Structure 1
Amino acid sequence: MKRLFACLLFAMLAACGRGPDVDIVRADVSAQLVEALPGQEIEIVSLKRRGSQRDTDAPPGETRRLVYFDTELKLDRDVDFGAWSSSGISALVSVLGAGPRGISGVTSGGNRAGDLIQVHGTALYRQEGDQWTLVAPVGYRPALASGPASGLEEGPGALLAAIRSTLDASDTAPDQRRIIEDELLMTRQNIEARLARNAKGYAIAAGAEHGQYLRVARALFPPGSRTVPLVTRGSEENLQLLRAGTVSLALSQGDAAQDAYEGTGIFTRQGPHAALRSLGSLYPEPLHVLVAAGSGLTSIDQLRGKRVAIGEAGAASRTTALRVLQAHGLGLDDIEPLELSIGDAFAALRLGQADAVMQVIGTPADDIRGLLTSTPLRLLPLSGEAAARLVDDHDGYFEYTIARGTYPGQAGNISTVATAALLLTDTTLSDAEIDSLTRRVFESGRDYPGLGSAQASRISPATSAVGLSVPLHPAAARALEALAGRGDPTEEH
């Protein structure tokens, strides 16, 4: 009897150490889906627990476990997860704690009743006595190592990666290392762009490793499509590469694209880029203004005198942040500006070294999801007057709502402004090439989350003119008209 009792006790302790059982996880996932996506009628067909591990980032004195699960969902009604007016794909990704390629079965253009969606999900639990309580779905945590954007694993790509690794381990002074890295990046961009052209393909200036733009580009143009995504520092560098003829395509924030087209902002010295054309708006990129939940800050005008992370110098998001502050009556002299990368900005907010972070980014933002698992945060809304002023003054902005449920624990809608992520070119490609590229990007039925980009699931001919801040290429306009079965897309919205 003693042995039997000991075995039962050991089994109970072992089960407790493994975290919540599958029934608890299933119940929590079901409740989260109902809360974040009310009225969508999503049924859990199956849910299997795939193990767990201790959370090494748990606060002192807390026992937490990361639980991994696979689930299959069935839609009992038609759902367009890509609709710009709802939390949609953002809520689905956030609720299930899914990373890139963690969801498959969500199709651009909308899903039908009866469709099945497969998810590799993750949830964070905290032990309270003999009970396990859901803390939050876990945000995506990218691997530290990365390969070249083109997908090359050997040859020139591997050589450049090895050179960068060597430099990272060297004692070169920071300013000298930055110069070397800049030169290597430019060399890599030029090589990959030339290789793409040599293969009768295209190079697209995308974005940083693990960033949304690079994942979108890879989802739109997977290997074999003859379009090579390049690692860059984002919108403003992409526009420079397009203007220099290094690439044929580029991704950019709509407000930065308008500045380049008109020759304003940081592009003043270069003058207007009159040849700049768009293939359409892809998805919304709203401004997020994040503060600690217990800060007492409730509006942007209360940021006067505060430490505000506005983005790195030269970043398009920083330009947007400054315009938003100005619309609320605040200038650089009215705050303590912190020019930090997005990762450093969120780290500063978590450590109490920043009072607010302002960042333009598509939803769901993985960095924000990850931060919410360890730091209680709130989103600040823009004032109605400031938002209206920004929209009136700049074609690249439109009023936008970050819908409730977009992020774990977000109970209400947040009013803000957004700019559209644009796919850009110039006048060097033929009409036939533009037609083919536009149809490829905007055709319905693609499983973009399964290809690694939740944001790309929002791409639709119906929203291709929202936030369009530069002229639409005539061939793209005709292709979008044919795809949508309607009139000129520039006349909508």
Structure 2
Amino acid sequence: MRRRALLTLLFAVLASAWLAGCGGGPAADGIRAGVNERLALALPPGTVQVVALERRGSQADTKAPAGETRRIVYFDAQLKLLRDYDFGAWDSPGVAGLVSALGAGPRGITGITSGGNKAGDIIRAHGTALYRRDGERWVGVLPAGYRPAEAPAVATNAQSGPAAILEAMRKVIDSVQKDASPAQRAVIEQELTTAHANIRARLARVNEGYAIAAGAEHGQYLRFAQALVAGTRVRAMPLVTHGGDENLRLLRAGKVSVALAQGDAALDAYEGKHAFAEDGPQASLRAIGSLYPEPVHVLVRDGDPARSVSDLRGRRIAVGERGAASRGTAMRVLAAHGLADKDFKAEEVGLGTGLVALRQNQVDAVIQVIGVPADSIRDALAETPLRLLPLDEKAIVALVGQKAGYFRAAIAPGTYPGLSAPVRTIATAAVLVTGPDLSDAEVADLTRLVYRNGRDLVARGSAQGGQIAVATARQGLMIPQHLAAAKALDAMGPTGAAPGTARPVRPPAASGTQVR
């Protein structure tokens, strides 16, 4: 009986192994080979080594095309850094390639640190890969993608030690009050009134938190804002909005204290141009800093004859929702390629709707400004072969020359599955902005929170958060930077724009407005 039981157990183990390699998708060695192949495409040679990979099971792909058998395979992997490498650098393959190569969600990757990783560091990932059955073998399709998760709740902080400061202020007032001139009394009254208002505002924010205008549910802006405050003592409330343009208007109206926006849209709001022409200049708008690049993506079906954006004349193009910052950028890109509004049919729909329409042949192209990797684009690739169109060199020169917050960029190989060569494009920076609501101390604290080294925002849910660094905090910045943010960044290390990108400038403030 014991021998029969052992034979039964052995048969079950062998059958399980056979299913793992056949009916249940490829075995661990096949998965490892696929991961190595994608990593070789996504990262420079000699960057990482897969030191461990363990298969964790599989399931049928319910979205597989009719008549095709596909399986999503789950695995855990450990990667060792073979040399120092900064996954957050804007001008080289980084987090986007790693996420795509491993098919992992941001929360599924740990070990990426802001400021750069060191040789010997270990990166751990819960990855996925998609395979289709081809006779007796399994062929890799692309990493299975990910879905964002909710960020944890945040804690509070508190102020302390006001008594000594109040006593010092009282001594200053008592020393000048008797002989003070009307001008001196006015200065004292103004400063005390300002201090009183700031204290009340900050106490309210400590008790209730201040609002950050973020973005759409499950969007990149919202995920970044949630990851930023998760596990910290900052009491802030990321808000779901329609995106950058609405965020800037909420900030202008005083309904939020901090907002995320595209760099070009922030400049338009500051100057009161284009989508913000009816609002007038937002002279109090200040940048805390640039966060990460948002490249322009121009997508067509793989079999489309278009090889350039200028080939889209007379075609149906999903340019983004009316009022969305990405739509304004899309129209400028088309104009730079010689396409006026009358030369194409603009479909004013968002990225998700546009990708569905592209798959169903209801539009011919989709244009979107979005950080990489864009999970909605990766998901679309699982169902429809798509291709990224490069921007013409002449158009890039014209767009960068507008000084509107654009700089040269490339979507690196490996950013999306099957992308084997860089795609020439432009980008604008995602920027964190504020108005007159926050005090200098609060702005400085927020700046240090955003840009301090050693944080793993990728593990907290923001793949784009891995690209945030002091070195790129002013790259593509085109509106005045808050002086408290500038001082905090200067104390943290060297900053500046990379060669060939937009340089930070300080446009003149509107009459009567102080540039802080």
Band of TM-score, shorter chain? 0.7 to 0.9
Which deviates the most, 65-74 or 391-400? 391-400
Deviations 1:61-84 (A, max 9, x none): 111000011111110110100000
Q: CA deviation at 1:194?
A: 12
1:66-77 correspondence runs (5 A): 66-77=72-83
Is the 8 Å Cα contact of residues 238 and 252 (structure 1) preserved in structure 2? yes
Secondary structure at the aligned position of 1:218 is classed as: helix
Deviations 1:380-417 (A, max 9, x none): 11111111111111331111111122111111111111
Secondary structure at the aligned position of 1:434 is classed as: helix
> Partners of 1:121 and 1:54 in 2: how far apart?
16
Provide closer, same or farther for how the CA distance between residues 131 and 388 of structure 1 changes in structure 2, counting only shifts above 3 A. Answer: same
Provide closer, same or farther for how the CA distance between residues 491 and 319 of structure 1 changes in structure 2, counting only shifts above 3 A. Answer: closer
Q: 1:243 is matched by which residue type in structure 2? A: R
Q: 2:418 is matched by which residue type in structure 1? A: G
Deviations 1:341-394 (A, max 9, x none): 211111111222211100000001111111112211111111111111111113
* Alignment-derived partner of residue 358 in structure 1: 367
Is the 8 Å Cα contact of residues 103 and 119 (structure 1) preserved in structure 2? yes
1:23-34 correspondence runs (5 A): 23-34=29-40
Secondary structure at the aligned position of 1:101 is classed as: helix
Provide closer, same or farther for how the CA distance between residues 438 and 12 of structure 1 changes in structure 2, counting only shifts above 3 A. Answer: closer
Could you tell me the percent identity over the aligned residues?
57
Indicate whether 1:465 and 2:470 are aligned.
no
Deviations 1:115-152 (A, max 9, x none): 01110111000111111111111122458xxx7x8959
> Partners of 2:107 and 2:345 in 1: how far apart?
39
Instruction: Report runs of 4+ in structure 1 exceeding 4 Å deviation.
Output: 6-13, 149-152, 193-196, 485-493
Deviations 1:219-262 (A, max 9, x none): 11115420110011100110011001111100000011011000
Is the 8 Å Cα contact of residues 47 and 85 (structure 2) preserved in structure 1? no
Q: CA deviation at 1:14?
A: 3.5
- Is there any run of 5+ residues in structure 1 with no aligned partner, and where? 153-192
Indicate whether 1:37 and 2:46 are aligned.
no
Pairs aligned (count)? 448
1:132-281 correspondence runs (5 A): 132-141=138-147, 197=205, 199=207, 201-222=209-230, 224-281=233-290
Indicate whether 1:93 and 2:99 are aligned.
yes
Among 430, 451, 467, the alignment partner of 2:439 is: 430
Is the 8 Å Cα contact of residues 196 and 203 (structure 1) preserved in structure 2? no
* Alignment-derived partner of residue 59 in structure 2: 53
1:328-477 correspondence runs (5 A): 328-477=337-486
Q: CA deviation at 1:41?
A: 2.8
Is the 8 Å Cα contact of residues 481 and 487 (structure 1) preserved in structure 2? no
> Partners of 1:196 and 1:232 in 2: how far apart?
23
- Is there any run of 5+ residues in structure 2 with no aligned partner, and where? 1-6, 155-200, 506-516
Indicate whether 1:14 and 2:14 are aligned.
no
Over aligned residues, Cα RMSD in angstroms?
Answer: 2.6
Secondary structure at the aligned position of 1:429 is classed as: coil
Which deviates the most, 126-135 or 223-232? 223-232
Which deviates the most, 424-433 or 6-15? 6-15
Q: 2:363 is matched by which residue type in structure 1? A: A
Provide closer, same or farther for how the CA distance between residues 262 and 150 of structure 1 changes in structure 2, counting only shifts above 3 A. Answer: farther
Is the 8 Å Cα contact of residues 319 and 346 (structure 2) preserved in structure 1? yes
Deviations 1:257-280 (A, max 9, x none): 011000011211111000000001
> Partners of 2:237 and 2:434 in 1: how far apart?
15
Q: CA deviation at 1:486?
A: 6.4
Q: Which has the larger radius of gyration?
A: 2
Provide closer, same or farther for how the CA distance between residues 11 and 472 of structure 1 changes in structure 2, counting only shifts above 3 A. Answer: closer
Deviations 1:44-75 (A, max 9, x none): 12111111100111111111000011111110
Among 290, 298, 315, the alignment partner of 1:306 is: 315
Secondary structure at the aligned position of 2:383 is classed as: coil
Is the 8 Å Cα contact of residues 38 and 414 (structure 2) preserved in structure 1? no
TM-score normalised per structure 2: 0.82
> Partners of 1:247 and 1:278 in 2: how far apart?
15
Q: 1:449 is matched by which residue type in structure 2? A: V
Is the 8 Å Cα contact of residues 196 and 227 (structure 1) preserved in structure 2? no
